[in-house]
Amino acid sequence: MMKKAVKYILAIILVLFIASNSIYFKKLSDVRASAAKQFDAAKYARNYLITQLIPAADKAPQADDLLVLLKSTPDTAFKMYSHGLDIGNIRFFIVQGQGTVTAVDENDIYIVTKNKQALKIAIEYVFGNALRDAPGLININDFTNTMDLNNIAAEIDKIVRAEVLPPIKSKIKTGDKLTFAGAFELNQEHINLDKIEVIPVVLKIDK
């Protein structure tokens, strides 16, 4: 009887030993920290804006030229200058230009370009994928999930809202000369140039 008891005790000890080496617990803070290290969207967005987006904006087509092309041969304009990560009709363009401010409201700056093209530039609702997708420099296959891509777009927009817009919003007025670069979206099946709203990444008042 004693031998059986000893065997049972030894068996229990062995099971507990194996279990203790097979199962372990992590603190929730450690799990969260590990997940955070996997992908830093804010860091990626900052680097992308500085090293890729702004240089791409500096080489972007002039607004006057692009708008003329969109009016005359839209298929060519879309093939040459539009990009998008998703398959569908929504496409994004990157553009730069200069213009004179004709009006300002809480949402937009309204300008007329050198060639008398009317445009509006967003200064309030800066959201979406335009700045992320318009240059065509991000490859969707480089990311393991769509959440990372969504977070990149959100972080780029956050930088614009925090750093690009405030210095302009505080002093822009009708009659000012403005230099801008940014991105906008169009539906290639239902093109409406009157609805173009540029999301800026570069915005400055010319002296």
Q: Are the beta carbons of 118 and 97 closer than 8 angstroms?
A: no
Task: Per residue of the chain (207 residues), give pLDDT as tens.
Answer: 555 554 555 556 654 555 555 444 445 555 455 554 689 999 999 999 999 999 999 999 999 999 999 999 999 999 999 999 988 899 999 999 999 999 999 999 999 999 999 999 999 999 999 999 999 999 999 998 999 999 999 999 999 999 999 999 999 999 999 999 999 999 999 999 999 999 999 999 998
Q: Count the Cβ atoms, other than its own, within 10 Å of residue 33.
A: 11
Our measurement of the distance from residue 12's CA atom to the centroid of its chain's CA atoms, rounded to an integer in Å, reads: 57
Give me the pLDDT at residue 88, please: 86
**CATH 3.40.50.1450, domain 2-206, yes or no:** no
Asked if 122 and 172 count as a contact pair (C-beta separation under 8 A), the reply is no
Sketch the domain layout of the chain as residue ranges. 2-206
Q: What per-residue confidence (pLDDT) applies to 23?
A: 46
Rg of the chain in Å (alpha carbons) = 27
3-state secondary structure of 89: coil
Threshold 0.85, pTM exceeds: no
The continuous run of DSSP H or E covering 179 comes out as: strand 177-187
